[in-house]
Structure 1
Amino acid sequence: MPPRKDADPSASVPCFYGAEMRYLREQAGLTLEQLAEGSYRGIPLLSQIERGERSMPLDLAVHVDKILKTNGFFERRCEAAAMARRAGHAEYFADALEMEQRAEEIDDWAPMLVPGLLQTPAYTRAVVRAAHPREADEEVEEKVTARMSRAAIFKAETPPKFWAIMNESLIRRRALPDEQMAELLEHIAEVVRATHSIVQIVPEVDGLHPFMMGMTRIMTFPDAPPVAYTEGLHSGQVIDFPPLVKLYRESYDLLRAAALSPAASLSMIEAAAGDFRNGKQKARLE
């Protein structure tokens, strides 16, 4: 018999819930056959869910909550994912979105794209259209509206402390027409000043730095352990394994030290906005 494949709960959202279901099932002394009994789903699907290979459908989540007496735990997960889809967010972002609303501090590392909380509608629209060239206009606009709505957390009674580190290429690369690039950079500076957030720039002249990999976010909470969230092109994962979160935090702290100071970074952003607005950025690149 081949060895049992256990899901790594830190690997992705489906893996986390799959590992939790397996743990609770075994704690209850049930086999997969016994857990599947009375549902409309087969044992292979439950096995795939426990291995983190499939997401849990709502009807099965309700059944599992009833059998394992988990007080709606799995049903709430399905509802959160469905809500994220309806609101224009990717399903894999559902948990990170919910955590964003409760976070006490949010630390973003943005090597390729301006962080979502700092984007303008024009920039978001261009990013979404580039990633999903075949999507209907209304679907693109739904995603734009959803991303813009996230900035409402800055108006909360107790807004999170926001810290973003961005690669210099993000304020130099012409992702939009010059006027819209100027608006994006001016918006970033405005958000930083209005919310007392911090943005740092990692200069392009620096070769290697402590955080070479893709987009990463670390969130801390007043009543729960910190988590890390990483995202690729069509996937994302919440990481809550404490030793791994600690490593992400250490890398982020090293990156802070390698970046320009907040004051110098803000000056660079505002200068780049002026260059785009005055047509100097094009001449600089040429």
Structure 2
Amino acid sequence: MANGSRQAAWEFFGTELKRRREEAGFTQVELGARVFVSGGYIGQFEQAIRKPQLDVAQRIDDTLQTDGIFERLCRKLINDRRYADYFAEVVELERLATKVCEFAPTLVPGLLQTAAYAQSVTVAANPFVTDEYVAEKVTARLERASILRDATRPEYWVVLHENTLRMPVGSRAAMAEQLEHIALLMRERHAVVAVLPYSEGAHPSMGGMLALMDFDDAPPIAYTETSFSGTLVDDPAVVKRAQRAYDLLRVAALSPEASLALVESAAEDFRRCASTT
């Protein structure tokens, strides 16, 4: 396991830099000369020993013609305060992933949230913040969710505990809208969603939210989160255990068809309650 979630993301930065450099046919010394650092510095970037300044990341992108990927990673890891420190790097890794698998035990995952749901979650966790703060957090969350409609979107698999369908977040109308949004994404095949019903009782990963990310040319990563912290994990043995836990969750969950029916039924229940109040 890397020393902290941010360190794991810098290690991903280094792995990706090495891959892109070798594909372009540069040695560390040759790339260093083009971006005005030593070849030893490039080696330290690749090993996540040293972290590049933003202008160096920009020159690396220009030299390797990588369409701004290293600048974006650098900005996210260093400067983006719209996300908690432990989560900022996860956002950029989601954009690079070819497959994302999540388990949500209590709340709808951020990639599936509507604006109203995201606002209610933000206010519940931060009751004394300004409207501007809330708006910034909601906008950031909706920007994250846009990857599900991109042409290069990752495969997105989600196991939702039935808690996420039954616990009202915000108004009944907002909850109905949230569940209808999930159902739409399911029908449009932007996400494969399975519901883990109450009837299954105990289950793996009862400690909190779990996400797994796969990449084309980098090892898979696991991410776990509790109320106040999150951890990126790249240790192969631990990631393998997390993948096994997720497999067990999927086996215990309802089929996508039965899950869609349950999501739509719960949405109808909230919609009906909203119309009578």
| Range into which the TM-score falls when normalised by the shorter chain | 0.7 to 0.9
Q: CA deviation at 1:274?
A: 0.6
User: Which residue of 32, 38, 42 maps to 1:70?
Assistant: 42
Q: CA deviation at 1:16?
A: 7.4
Is 2:168 the counterpart of 1:174?
yes
Is 2:90 the counterpart of 1:113?
no
Report the 3-state secondary structure (helix = DSSP H, G, I; strand = E; otherwise coil) of the residue aligned with 2:199. Answer: coil
Tell me the residue number matched to 2:151: 157
Tell me the residue number matched to 1:96: 90
User: Which residue of 256, 261, 265 maps to 1:267?
Assistant: 261
Q: CA deviation at 1:214?
A: 0.4
Pick the structure with greater CA Rg. Answer: 1
Q: 5+ residue gaps in structure 2?
A: 14-36, 46-50, 55-72
- The separation in 1 between residues aligned to 2:172 and 2:204, in whole angstroms, is 32
User: Which residue of 130, 136, 139 maps to 2:133?
Assistant: 139
RMSD across aligned positions (CA) = 2.8
- The separation in 1 between residues aligned to 2:154 and 2:7, in whole angstroms, is 27
Change (3 A) 1:16 1:117: closer
Tell me the residue number matched to 1:81: 77
Q: CA deviation at 1:206?
A: 2.2
Q: Does the 8 Å CA contact 1:172/1:281 hold for their aligned counterparts?
A: no
* TM-score normalized with structure 2 length: 0.75
Report the 3-state secondary structure (helix = DSSP H, G, I; strand = E; otherwise coil) of the residue aligned with 1:213. Answer: coil
Q: Does the 8 Å CA contact 2:108/2:160 hold for their aligned counterparts?
A: yes
- The separation in 1 between residues aligned to 2:117 and 2:145, in whole angstroms, is 15
Aligned length: 230
Q: CA deviation at 1:66?
A: 7.2
Q: How do residues 236-247 of structure 1 correspond to structure 2 at under 5 angstroms? A: 236-247=230-241
**Cα-to-partner distance string for 1:223-257 (whole Å, 9 max, x where unaligned):** 11110011122322211111110000000001100
User: Which residue of 2, 9, 17 maps to 2:2?
Assistant: 9
Q: Does the 8 Å CA contact 2:99/2:156 hold for their aligned counterparts?
A: yes
Q: Does the 8 Å CA contact 1:217/1:229 hold for their aligned counterparts?
A: yes
- The separation in 2 between residues aligned to 1:269 and 1:100, in whole angstroms, is 25
Q: CA deviation at 1:10?
A: 5.8
Q: Does the 8 Å CA contact 1:275/1:281 hold for their aligned counterparts?
A: no
Tell me the residue number matched to 1:220: 214
Change (3 A) 1:145 1:255: same
Identity of aligned residues (%): 42
Q: Does the 8 Å CA contact 1:10/1:240 hold for their aligned counterparts?
A: no
Q: CA deviation at 1:156?
A: 2.1
Is 2:124 the counterpart of 1:130?
yes
Q: CA deviation at 1:83?
A: 3.8
Give the residue type in structure 1 aligned to 2:266: A
- The separation in 2 between residues aligned to 1:267 and 1:164, in whole angstroms, is 16
Q: CA deviation at 1:91?
A: 2.3
Tell me the residue number matched to 1:38: none
